[in-house]
Chain A
Amino acid sequence: MSTLNKTSRRDFLKISSLTGGGLVLGFSWFGSDAAPVILNSSTVADLNFNSYLSIATDGTITILSPNPELGQNVMTSFPMIVADELDADWNKVKVMQAPLDKKFDRQLTGGSGAIPHSWKRLRTAGATARYLLIAAAAKKWNVDASECTAENSFVIHTKTGNKLSYGELAEDASKITVPADVQLKNRKDFKLIGKAIKNVENKNIITGKGIFGLDVYRDGMVYAMIQRPPAFGTKIKSVDDKAAKAMPGIIDVVTFKNNVAVVGKSTWEVMKARKVLKVEYEKDGNIESTADHNQLFTTMLNSDNAQVRRKDGDVETAFKNAAKVITSEYQCPFLPHSPMEPMNFFADVRADGVELIGATQTPGSALTQVSKLLNIPEDKINVTITRLGGGFGRRLKFDFVVEAAELSSIIKKPVKLIWTKEDDMTGGSYRPAVRYRFQAALDASGNLIGYKLRGAGINVGNSTRENNFPSGAVDNLLIDTVDHQSPITTGAWRAPVTNFLAYAEQSFIDEVAHAAGKDPVQFRLELLQKARTNKVGTINYNIDRMETVIKTVAEKSGWGKKKDVSLGFSVYFSHQSYVGQVAEAIMKDGKPVIKKIYAVSDCGEVINKSGALQQVMGAIVDGYGHAMFGKLSFKEGAPEQTNYHNYRMIRMKEIPEVDAYFIDNGIDPTGLGEPALPPTGGAVANAIFKATGIRLKQQPFVDEKLFNPA
């Protein structure tokens, strides 16, 4: 697969002599109409380009990493793609986190979308620089560029073996006209893409460098924490901050909106003073408990007022004619994201502009919101992105950025706002809670002739993925949803919706296969075959890719061949990728234990083998850990779990082994930060069913009777 990538000339820009010589390539990934211009340092800021890739005269290649890095390893995989097309010596590549620059298109982290979005752009960036360097060398040697090749940061004249380094060529390359089209590599010629390349920030991480948001310290900075309402559905009634103000090291206590902010000279002094605040709260909306939600789920599942998401054929007749009907309900609780680094942000709101520094998945949206709130033009606001100590969706919301900015504008000081772990766990934006009811109609031969799914959610919106499997493979199908609006705030949590839907659906499909007397793998393959030959409606998944993943993971796991272990199957399509998993359970002391999980992922081209494996292993530990242990329950509007002493997270001795494989198909890359998470809960539940005969219908599994014999 070799492609001629036609990219408009106006998307490129060379900037010479901006960094003391060499070649600086700027790219407008914003769709600017500006014609390519040679720029100097005084005009660069005015144009819709950013200096993205530079090659210094000493051969150092600097690549900016636009997207926030939270462990998805984009800071390594992006430059790998550029460096591969550039034929750069990886040891000479330096990667720097770019600040927020609206000239970058999609400078955010979410939806497993960075690599799919930027794949072609990054390759073109590297290939363009390579073209310019080769052209510069050819000119110098007075030979045709077609006689030259590039390797390991050198241009080589193949006939004579003459070599010039990229550093030596950088200055001349900046004088060559940017090409309209560049040839991208054939994938068989990739040298970095597909290899295991270590995280470029390993050294900073393992030596404890201050690279995270909480590590930001500035001269004159004060520290702040905010007391927020303890229960959802309440607001401030009165504030007595006298005692807190009198505490040592306290500079001020200010109340804005529903926030009481304690500002002081150190984190600990602020923490202590906050404890002596006397704040009374009063009702401001529904005060809900988990017990209320459980009743609500039943009401919603039986409601006549559902929103239809998809309807194929005649569902009622199919169920009337069914030889067998299977009905089952599955439920998942709220979950906090709980990244290891609690929310925090630095803000300095001054008359002449705003400085924002910290860990956010959405720097652009944060900037827009701060601009609106403080009525300060966007171009007066600078956002510096630090490394994120985890995100999992929590840092898609920028509430903490806005709080910090608002507080700084009130106290007129640079401030670091810090959330405690308790603030983080009780402060909202949770994964929503949901209950599903599935119904399947089988004919006398065990064919699936009707399928119904009702999603009942709390602040989910659409709790289904109506065009996902098994839609397209069932003639008569109805998918609808009911949603309850709660004051408990929710948000995207790694693999939104699919992180619970996949568990429920893949468990139910397993149930239906057993009821039909069919092997769960065979049953899925039959459904895919049906969708292939006689597809019903539109579907958003690729039948061949899903089928390949199913067959491959079945083979890798020894499906149908193992006697001493119980296997559970699951497959899911999300973020344009396909992941099949088989969990292996054994019985120990009367309880099932998951020993191993096999995973086969089709995410198209794998960029970094090491990073990709990390994403899959991490997502499986994440999916398994939360399915087993994760629970956030509510009593009178307040979360009952507040920190790691009563909110259980998976620990090292509880992890299953993971055996991960990738399909090598050369398709343009699709997402990988999330897709390996959704299938895990179902594979585990199905393996446990196989081992015990018991269906786990509710997360967390550890609360089920199976794990708590009387």
Chain B
Amino acid sequence: MPVFTLRINGKEYKTDVAADTPLLWVLRDHLGLVGTKYGCGIAQCGACTVHIDGNPVRSCTLPVSAVKTAKVTTIEGLSKDGDHPVQLAWDEIDVPQCGYCQAGQIMTAAALLKRNPKPTVQQIEDAMHGNLCRCGAYHRIREAIISASKKI
């Protein structure tokens, strides 16, 4: 199996896996970065969202071989101590219910605010359309993004 060198959260990792292994399972099974979640495996729920060079990407359908030299950011690397404005807003608004989808929600929201720090409600809803929350915490997810956008 080929050895891949990945740049994740500012660190370099080497992993020896099949080329078609989705980044999600490399993160979880091989590198111990379990914050990125498996939800559907077909890029429909957004629980596995990570940043690839700053863009939100569904890691469950991204083969590790496609990552190449791109910079990967996972929820563990979004901030040093959970103090990214989106993470702080998530706590302030008390967003999580079961919490399983929230890493993906936060990563999508953080990427949105990076490219558009003052999104309209409709832009928020469009950007978050790919992230499912089975608990239905959508009201507070939206509120937290609005709150974070005011502080960025």
Q: List A residues at the B interface (Cβ < 8 Å).
A: 70-73, 196, 198-199, 201-212, 214-215, 217, 223, 248, 266-269, 272, 338-342, 387-392, 420-422, 610-611, 614, 617-622, 625, 643-645, 649-653, 655, 657-658
Contacts and interface: CB of A to CB of B under 8 A. Distances in A.
A620 B139 CA distance: 11
Nearest to A265: B29
Nearest to A618: B136
B45 A268 contact: no
B99 A201 contact: yes
Given A340-B39, A421-B41, A207 B134 contact: no
Interface string B14-34: 000110111001001110111
B128 A652 contact: yes
Contact of A340 (B34, B35, B122, B133): B133
A653 B136 contact: no
B6 interface: no
Nearest to A418: B38
Interface string B75-90: 1100001100001001
B137 interface: yes
Given A207-B87, A610-B94, A655 B40 contact: no
Contact of B18 (A248, A389, A652): A248
Contact of A210 (B20, B21, B35, B128): B35
Contact of B100 (A202, A267, A389, A658): A389
Nearest to B86: A206
Interface residues of B, number: 61
Contacts of A267: 25, 28-29, 38
B72 interface: no
B52 interface: no
B18 A614 contact: no
Given A212-B100, A266-B17, A389-B98, A650 B129 contact: no
Contacts of A617: 136-137, 139-140
Contact of B90 (A202, A653, A655): A202
Q: Which of A70, A208, A215, A392 has the most CB of B within 10 A?
A: A208
B59 interface: no
B94 A651 contact: no
Contacts of A657: 139
Contacts of B131: 651-652
Contact of A206 (B32, B45, B91): B91
Interface in B97-126: 97-103, 106, 122, 124-126
B149 interface: no
23 contacts: A71-B99, A206-B103, A207-B81, A207-B87, A208-B35, A208-B103, A214-B37, A268-B22, A269-B18, A340-B100, A340-B134, A341-B100, A387-B98, A387-B99, A391-B98, A617-B140, A619-B136, A622-B134, A625-B136, A649-B134, A651-B131, A651-B138, A652-B141
Interface of B: 1, 17-18, 20-22, 25, 28-30, 32-42, 44-45, 47, 74-76, 81-82, 87, 90-91, 94-103, 106, 122, 124-126, 128-129, 131-142
Contacts of B98: 70-71, 339-341, 387-391
- Which of A72, A204, A206, A643 is packed against the most chain B CB atoms within 10 Å? A206
Nearest to A656: B139
A358 to B, nearest CB: 13
A87 B123 CA distance: 45
B47 A340 contact: yes
Contacts of A391: 98
Contacts of A422: 41
B44 A618 contact: no
A614 B94 CA distance: 9
B34 A210 contact: yes
A248 to B, nearest CB: 7
A577 to B, nearest CB: 18
A655 B34 contact: no
B42 A644 contact: yes
A392 B91 CA distance: 24
B136 A340 contact: no
A421 B40 contact: yes
Given A610-B94, A651-B129, A658 B135 contact: no
A214 B106 contact: no
A97 to B, nearest CB: 13
Contacts, number: 190
Contacts of A655: 136, 138-139
B63 to A, nearest CB: 10
A202 B91 contact: yes
Given A214-B37, A621-B138, A644-B40, A390 B100 contact: yes
A267 B23 CA distance: 12
A622 B97 CA distance: 13
A387 to B, nearest CB: 7
A658 B139 contact: yes
B134 A339 contact: yes
Contact of A214 (B38, B87, B137): B38
A544 B5 CA distance: 68
B135 A390 contact: yes
B100 to A, nearest CB: 3
Given A208-B35, A215-B34, A652 B41 contact: no
Contact of B94 (A70, A71, A202, A620): A202
Q: Which of B30, B37, B47, B94 has the most CB of A within 10 A?
A: B94
A338 B76 CA distance: 26
A206 B129 contact: no
B56 to A, nearest CB: 15
Nearest to A339: B134
Given A202-B90, A266-B30, A618-B137, 20 more contacts: A199-B99, A201-B99, A206-B75, A206-B91, A214-B37, A267-B25, A272-B18, A338-B134, A339-B100, A339-B134, A340-B100, A340-B134, A617-B136, A617-B140, A643-B44, A645-B42, A649-B134, A651-B128, A651-B131, A653-B129
B135 to A, nearest CB: 5
Nearest to B39: A340
A638 to B, nearest CB: 18
A395 to B, nearest CB: 11
A199 B40 CA distance: 26
B12 to A, nearest CB: 20
Contact of A620 (B1, B17, B128, B136): B136
Given A214-B38, A266-B30, A206 B18 contact: no
B44 to A, nearest CB: 4
A208 B96 contact: no
A206 B87 CA distance: 6
Contact of B96 (A206, A214, A217, A620): A206
Given A268-B21, A652-B129, A652-B138, A645 B44 contact: yes
Given A342-B38, A614-B97, A205 B102 contact: yes
Contacts of A387: 98-99
Contacts of A202: 90-91, 94-96
A431 to B, nearest CB: 14
B110 to A, nearest CB: 11
B136 A209 contact: no
A470 to B, nearest CB: 29
Contacts of A621: 136, 138-139
Given A202-B90, A206-B106, A650 B35 contact: no
